[in-house]
Amino acid sequence: MTILRDDRGSIGIGAMIVFIALILVAAVASTVIIKTIEDLQQSGENTASNSKNLISNRVLVEGAYLTFNGAADCEATLYQHSAFGGWSATYPVGDYEGNDFLDPDNDGNAEATSNDASSIKVDDGCEIIMYDNPDFSGWSARLGGGDHSLADIRANSRPINCGGSGCNDEISSIKVLGFEVEFILKLASGSGDVSAGDISWSISCDVGGSASTDSENIVFGGASFLDNTNTEGVEINFISTEMLEVGPRFKVEATFKTCSPQIGDNIPLMIHVEDGATSYYTLPIRDLSLGTDIFFNS
């Protein structure tokens, strides 16, 4: 059989096309393999980092001081004007921000207005903490029982005089305290830097024969270093984005909304770090005297 010259040329071109195609397929395959290896390596590094955080990023409790043990029926009434005039809104024990601040009795009608109050009346034997911003941040003022004018708010605010603003018409969230504990916390050795907004606490208790839980992010609860400053040295509470590091101790205002511990109770406590570890403790309630370190009073 005789193969014509044109046929031989066609076979050569076809073989060359097949050869080039094989080279292109090999190049694409090698690129896919390399990319897959890089993705697997990155995924492995992320998994290792997350696993390390889950183990090492932990918050430890060094103390739990009873700072207030108020009656369950405590109330405070906030007023628009400094002389207890204008609109008024009454707040039972609890934490009030956002719509809860505006409408504390949940009747669908706003009794309060943000950034428009200047005086407050607090039941005898009760305490409140008022805040500048609607998320329990900014300046704060802690007041006990009695009728408190704007001058009282200025004198008791942190920083004093609300940092120079004068405090007038700046209140946007409030806490009426029931049972309050000040936790002394620190990051465990080996932890990386942790955002203040990633730390929270929770407790569980028995209320009327059924289980109940109180929990709160430490930023919403109110937290600062022991000298009342934030990470920039300013006399004010932490905000969510502030980074805490191993070493300095910090305090957290923990207000229990539903739980009201009694002598003899053993309260389970958890301190949780988002994408990190959870620390488990028990608070033995043996003394309800103010200033008692519940954590070590067994």
Same domain, 81 and 98: yes
Same domain, 184 and 289: yes
Same domain, 165 and 257: no
Q: How many residues does the chain have?
A: 298
Is 128:142 a contact under the CB 8 Å cutoff? yes
Give the pLDDT band of residue 260 (cuts 50, 70, 90): confident
What's the confidence (pLDDT) of residue 129?
A: 93
Same domain, 103 and 143: yes
Mean pLDDT of the region 282-289: 90
Mean pLDDT of the region 234-239: 92
Q: 21-25, 72-76, 247-251: which has the highest mean pLDDT?
A: 247-251
Same domain, 23 and 85: no
The answer to whether residue 206 scores a pLDDT higher than 50 is yes
The answer to whether residue 141 scores a pLDDT higher than 80 is yes
- Domain count within the chain: 3
What's the confidence (pLDDT) of residue 297?
A: 61
The answer to whether residue 102 scores a pLDDT higher than 90 is yes
Same domain, 186 and 172: no
What's the confidence (pLDDT) of residue 49?
A: 45
Give the DSSP letter string of 128-176: EEEESSTTS-SSEEEE-SEEE-HHHHHHHEESGGGGGT--TT---EEEE
The answer to whether residue 131 scores a pLDDT higher than 80 is yes
pTM of the model: 0.71
Q: By CB neighbour count within 10 A (0-12 exposed, 13-18 middle, 19+ buried), where does 192 fall?
A: middle
Same domain, 87 and 167: yes
Which is nearest to 174 in space by CA: 245, 232, 235, 120? 120
Mean pLDDT of the region 267-274: 94
Same domain, 185 and 150: no
* The last residue of a domain, from among 176, 208, 242: 176
Mean pLDDT of the region 170-194: 93
Same domain, 80 and 63: no
Mean pLDDT of the region 85-98: 93
The answer to whether residue 1 scores a pLDDT higher than 60 is no
Task: Report the CATH number that the domain containing residue 134 is assigned in CATH.
Answer: 2.60.20.10
Task: Report the CATH number that the domain containing residue 65 is assigned in CATH.
Answer: 2.60.40
Mean pLDDT of the region 259-283: 92
The answer to whether residue 34 scores a pLDDT higher than 50 is yes
Distance (Å, rounded) from C-alpha 198 to C-alpha 237?
15
Q: For residue 202, give the H/E element and its range.
A: strand 199-207
The answer to whether residue 295 scores a pLDDT higher than 60 is yes
Give the pLDDT band of residue 6 (cuts 50, 70, 90): low
Distance (Å, rounded) from C-alpha 137 to C-alpha 223?
10
Q: Across the chain, what does the average pLDDT equal?
A: 86
Domain, as residue range, for 138: 75-176
* The last residue of a domain, from among 156, 176, 196: 176
Same domain, 218 and 275: yes
The answer to whether residue 48 scores a pLDDT higher than 60 is no
Same domain, 169 and 122: yes
More confident residue, 173 or 51: 173
What tens digit of pLDDT does each residue of 109-126 get? 999 999 999 999 999 989
Mean pLDDT of the region 115-139: 93
Same domain, 183 and 63: yes
* The last residue of a domain, from among 114, 145, 176: 176
